[in-house]
Amino acid sequence: MTNSMNSVKARWAAQMRGMFPDARLKKDRGTEMTYEILPRDLHQILAYLKNSGWRQLSMITGVDWIEEGQFELVYNLFDWEQGLRVLLSIRIGRDKPQVLTITNIYAGAQYYEREIHEFFGIEFIGNEDALKSLFLERWDALPPLRKDFDSRAYSDKKYVKRFYDPVYGPQGGAPFERS
Amino acid sequence: MPKKQLPSRFYPVKHEMQTVEAPAEKISPQQRAETWEKIAQYFRANSLWMLNYCTGCCAIELPLVMTSRFDMERLGMMPMATPRQADILLVTGYASLKTLRRLIYTYEQMGTPKYVVAFGPCAVNGGIYHDAYAVLNRLDLYLPVDLYIAGCMPKPEAVMSGFMKLIELIESGKATGWKDYEQRYEWYKKNQLEAVGEVFIHDEFHE
Amino acid sequence: MIAYQSIGTALGMALFAWLMQTGLSGVDRKITARIQKRRGPVWYQNFRDVFKLLNKRSVTHGWIFDLGLLIALAGAIGTAMFMPMAGIIPLQGYDNFFMITYLAALGVFGRALSAGASGNPLAAIGVMRGLTQNIGYKLPYMVLVIVLINYYKTSSISGIAALQQVQGWSVLKMPLGVLVAFISLHGMLGKKPFDTYLAPSEVASGPMVEFGGKYLGLLNIAHEIAVFVEISLFVNLFLGGGATLAEFLLKYMAVYLLSSCLGAVMGRLRVEQVVRFYYKVPIGLTILQVLLFTLLYGGVS
C-alpha cells in the first residue's frame, strides 16, 4: 500500500469521524474497514459514501446473534478508484426485525434484500418486492438460516431418505433398484 | 453355501424329439418392429446429445470431458442448447427445491427416447448435503435415472467410462427410464407433488 | 416441355447433394476436431445424427410450424434440382441465376416462418438476426453477380461456367470480388465469426430453439442441401465450374474445407459487429471492384 493512498484514506477517515460521531471504527485491515453504526444513521452514511466514490454495493449479509437476541446486517461497499472496501454493520432486535430498505440509494440491493428476507425473515420497510420468494418457493417453516432452525430435523421430516446397510469390500454395495 | 452339483456325466442322457419349426413365410410385424428397434438403438446410442443444464458442482468436470484431453465428441456426444434437441439430461449433483421443478419441466420437454444420468452421491442419497434444508435426497423418486456415476466429484475418466456404459446400455436396450416414466407417470407425479408441493413454476420469468 | 427423365435426374441430383454434403460436413467436424487437438467423431457421424433425429418423437407447435418446415425443405430440394454441376444440367434451360436465388430465399423464409411460429422469443431474436445478416451478405454478392452477368451476357449458370472454361475463371478477372463473395459465402454457411444468429449459449441456438426430433432432422437435411447450393453457386460463378465432375468436386471440397478451417480458428462476433462489418468491408470492396472491373473490361452496356 502506497503512502499517498494511506494519506487519502486517513483524510477520509477523519472526515467520516467528524460527520458521523456515532460510527465506531471496529476493524481496519488496510484496504478494508469495518464500521459499526446505528440503524438510524444508515441512509445518511450510505448516501454520503455513494457520493464519495463507493458506487458499488457488493453485497448485504445477515448474521444471527441468537444469544444477544440480535440480527446483524453487513453492507459491503467497494470503491473501484481507491480500491477500498467499507463494511457497515448495523444491529437490530431479533423479535419482529424491521429495517428500512436501501433500494432508493442502491437499486441493486433489491435481490440482496429479497434473499435476506427469505433466509432470516427480516422485513424491509418500503420494499414490497422483497416479500416475493427467490430461492425457497413455497417455504413452510422458519427462515432456514436462523440459528434456531434445525436443518437436520426439517430434512428428515420432509424428504424421503435412502437407508441401507453399507457392505464394504469388493463384494459389497447395495444394488440400486427402482422402488 | 451353494449346493454341490454333480458333474453332468452322472445324469442320464435324455434324448428328446425336437420339433423344428418351419421358417415363417413372412416376417411378422412384431419381428419387423424388433429389427427396426435394434437399428434405431444403434443410432440412438452413437449420437447422444446432452443438454447443457447443470445443477451442481459436478458440472465443473464436463468442460474437461468435452475438450481436447478426453474429447466426448468421439463417442458422438455433443452439448446442445435446448431440451427439445437433447437426448440426455445430466443431473450434475444435488437437486434442490428450486432446481427440481425446473428439472421436471426440462425433462418433460425433451422428446423421447431420453435418458437421465446422475452424477455423484448427492443424487443417490443426498451426499454431503443429506441434512440440508432444501436438497432432495433421492432423485430416482422424481425422475427415472438410467445411470449413476460415482465420485465426489467424478473424475473425467469416470465420466467418460460412465458415458460408455450408457452407450452400452442403450445399445442393448436396457436404458428404459423414459418408458418407466410413461408407464408409472402417476407414481412419479405423486412423489414430485409430495416433495415440492406444486410443480408449476411461479417466478417473474414465467408469469 | 421438361421430360420426366430430366426430373428424375434432378431429383437424383438433390439426393446426391444431400449424401455428399452430409458426408463432407462429417469430415468438416473431424477437421475442426483435429485443429483443436481432438480426435473427433467418425466421418459418418452426421448420418447417424440425422437418422437418430428422425427416429425420435417430437412435438409440433401448430400447423404453420409444420408448413414452414416443409417449405424450407421443398425450397432446398427445389433449388438443388436446378443446380448445374460440371456439364450435368438437370433441367436444361432453367438454370437461371435469378430463379435459383428466388428458390433459395424460399428455403430461408420457410425456416424463418417455422421458427417464428414456434412462439419462442429466442427463436424470434435468432430469425431477426439471421435476416439482418442475410441482407448484409446478399447485397455485395448480388452486385458482383450482376456485374458478371453483364460481362458474360448470360444469366444461365451453366452458360457462365462454360464461358469461363474458354475465357479463364472470373477469379482472375475480379480477385477482390471473389474475396468478397467468399466472405458472403462464409456468412451464408453460418461458419464461425458470422454464426451470431445461432449462438448456443446466447440465444439457445436461435431459430432452431424449438425444433427437436423429426423436425430437427428435416431441418438438418434442408440445411445440408442449402449448403450444397450455396457452394456450387460459388464454384460455378467464380471458379469456372468444372470440365469434369472430379474437377468440380475438387473445387467444391477446397472451398468448403477452407471455409470450415477458417471457422475452426475464429471466435464469434457480436451481432452489431457482424452488421457493422458487412456494411463496411464487403460493400466498400465491392464498389472498388466494380469500378476497377469497369475500367479494365469495358463499361456497362
Give me the residue spans of the domains in chain C: 4-296
State the smallest CA–CA distance between residue A73 and chain B in angstroms. 22
Query: Which chain A residues have a beta carbon less than 8 Å from that of B135?
Result: 155, 159
Touching, B vs A (3+ Cβ pairs under 8 A): yes
Chain A's closest residue to B136, CA to CA, is: A159
Which chains share 3+ C-beta pairs under 8 angstroms with C?
Answer: B
Which of B136, B202, B204 is nearest residue A159 as measured by Cβ atoms? B136
Residue C115 scores a pLDDT above 60: yes
Whole-number pLDDT of residue C23:
92
Three-class secondary structure of residue C241 per DSSP: coil
Nearest chain B residue to A149, by CA: B133
Nearest Cα of chain B lies from the Cα of C41 at a distance, in angstroms, of: 4
The answer to whether residue C205 neighbours chain B at the CB level (below 8 Å) is yes
Asked if B92 reaches chain A (Cβ–Cβ under 8 Å), the answer is no
Phi/psi of residue B41, nearest 5 degrees: -65, -35
Helix (H) / strand (E) containing C66: helix C63-82
pLDDT at B168 over 50: yes
Whether B136 and chain A come into contact, CB under 8 Å, resolves to: yes
Specify the pLDDT at position A63. 92
Position A139 scores a pLDDT of: 85
Q: Given this model, what pLDDT does residue C300 score?
A: 52
Strands (E), B40-164: 49-51, 78-80, 88-92, 95-96, 115-119, 135-136, 147-149
DSSP 8-state class, residue B115:
E
> What mean pLDDT value characterizes chain A?
84
| Strands A123-125 and A98-100, sheet pairing | parallel
Q: Report the residue of B66, B84, B105, B170 to disrupt the C interface, i.e. the one with the largest count of C CBs within 10 Å.
A: B84
Residues of C in contact with B205 (CB under 8 A): none
Q: Say if CB C140 and CB C180 are below 8 A apart.
A: yes
Closest CA to C41 of B26, B48, B7: B48
A154/B125 CB distance under 8 A: no
Beta strands at A84-93 and A70-79: parallel, antiparallel or unpaired: antiparallel
A and C touch per CB criterion (3+ pairs under 8 A):
no
C49-53 contact pairs (CB < 8 A, 24+): C49/B47, C49/B49, C49/B76, C49/C220, C50/C22, C50/C217, C50/C220, C50/C221, C51/B43, C51/C217, C52/B40, C52/B43, C52/B44, C52/B46, C52/B47, C52/B87, C53/C213, C53/C214, C53/C216, C53/C217, C53/C220
Contact list, B97 vs chain A (CB under 8 Å): 135-137
B interface with C, Cβ–Cβ below 8 Å: 40, 43-44, 46-47, 49, 52, 67-68, 71, 73-76, 79-85, 87, 110-113
> Average pLDDT, stretch B31-48?
88
Please give the CATH superfamily to which domain A18-158 belongs: NADH:ubiquinone oxidoreductase Nqo5 subunit (3.30.460.80)
DSSP string covering chain A: --HHHHHHHHHHHHHHHHH-TT-EEEEE-SSEEEEE--GGGHHHHHHHHHHTT--EEEEEEEEEETTTTEEEEEEEEEETTTTEEEEEEEEEESSS-EEE--TTT-TTHHHHHHHHHHHH--EEET-GGGGS-SSSTT--SS-TTSTT--HHHHHHHHSPP-------STT--PPP---
Amino acid C204: pLDDT? 79
- Indicate the SS3 state at residue C111: helix
Q: What is the pLDDT averaged over residues B129-158?
A: 89
pLDDT of residue A179: 45
Of all residues in chain B, the one with the smallest CA distance to C30 is B74
Mean pLDDT, residues A132-146 taken together: 85
- Coil vs helix vs strand at C155: coil
Q: Is A102:A42 a contact under the CB 8 Å cutoff? A: yes
Q: Are A116 and A63 in contact (CB under 8 A)?
A: no
- CATH architecture, range B49-195: 3-Layer(aba) Sandwich (3.40)
Closest CA to B199 of B99, B56, B117: B99
Q: Is it the case that chain B and chain C have 3 or more CB pairs lying under 8 Å apart?
A: yes
Task: Report d(CA A46, CA A89) in Å as an integer.
Answer: 12
pLDDT band at residue B6 under the 50/70/90 scheme: low
Q: What percent of chain C has pLDDT over 90?
A: 18
Domain spans of chain A, in order of start: 18-158
Which comes out higher in pLDDT, residue C301 or C53? C53
Contact between C39 and B74 using a beta-carbon 8 Å cutoff: yes
pLDDT digits 0-9 by tens, C250-274: 999 999 999 999 988 988 888 888 8
Q: Is the pLDDT of residue B56 over 50?
A: yes
User: Chain A residues with CB inside 8 Å of B202's CB?
Assistant: 133, 137
Q: What is the pLDDT of residues A15-24, one digit of tens each?
A: 888 888 888 8
Q: What's the pLDDT at C94?
A: 77
pLDDT of residue A165: 67
A60-64, B143-147, C35-39, C242-246: segment of lowest average pLDDT = C242-246
User: Are C38 and B73 in contact (CB < 8 Å)?
Assistant: yes
ipTM of the prediction: 0.80
C167 touches B: beta carbon within 8 Å: no
pLDDT of amino acid A174? 52
The DSSP H or E segment spanning C116 is: helix C97-117
Name which of A162-166, B155-159, C164-168 the model is least confident about: A162-166
- What's the mean pLDDT when you consider all of chain C? 85
More confident: A147 or B201 = A147
Q: What is the mean pLDDT of residues C210-225?
A: 89
Residue B123 contacts residue B93 (beta carbons within 8 Å) = yes
Q: Of all residues in chain A, what percent carry a pLDDT higher than 70?
A: 89
In tens, the pLDDT along B81-130 reads 888 889 999 998 888 888 888 899 899 889 888 999 999 888 888 888 88
C-alpha span between A55 and A51 (Å, rounded): 7
**B131 and A159 in contact by Cβ < 8 A?**
no
> Is residue A74 over pLDDT 90?
yes
> Is the distance from CB of C53 to CB of C213 less than 8 angstroms?
yes
Q: What is the mean pLDDT of residues C121-127?
A: 87
Flag if A159 and B135 touch (Cβ within 8 Å): yes
Task: For chain B, say whether A135 makes contact (Cβ under 8 Å).
Answer: yes
Average pLDDT over chain B, rounded to an integer: 84
Instruction: Return the minimum-mean-pLDDT range out of B7-16, B112-121, C20-29, C186-195.
Output: B7-16
pLDDT greater than 90 at residue C209: no
pLDDT at A75: 93
Higher pLDDT, A165 or A84: A84
Q: Which residue has the higher pLDDT, C297 or C269?
A: C269
pLDDT band for B22, please (50, 70, 90 cuts).
low
Average pLDDT over residues C136-161: 85
- Cell matching residue A161: 431418505
Name chain B's partners: 3 or more CB pairs within 8 A: A, C
Over residues C54-67, the mean pLDDT reads 87
Do residue B124 and residue A152 have CB atoms under 8 angstroms apart?
no
**Which residue in A129, A159, A176 has the most chain B C-beta atoms within 10 A of its own C-beta, making it the best mutation to test that interface?**
A159
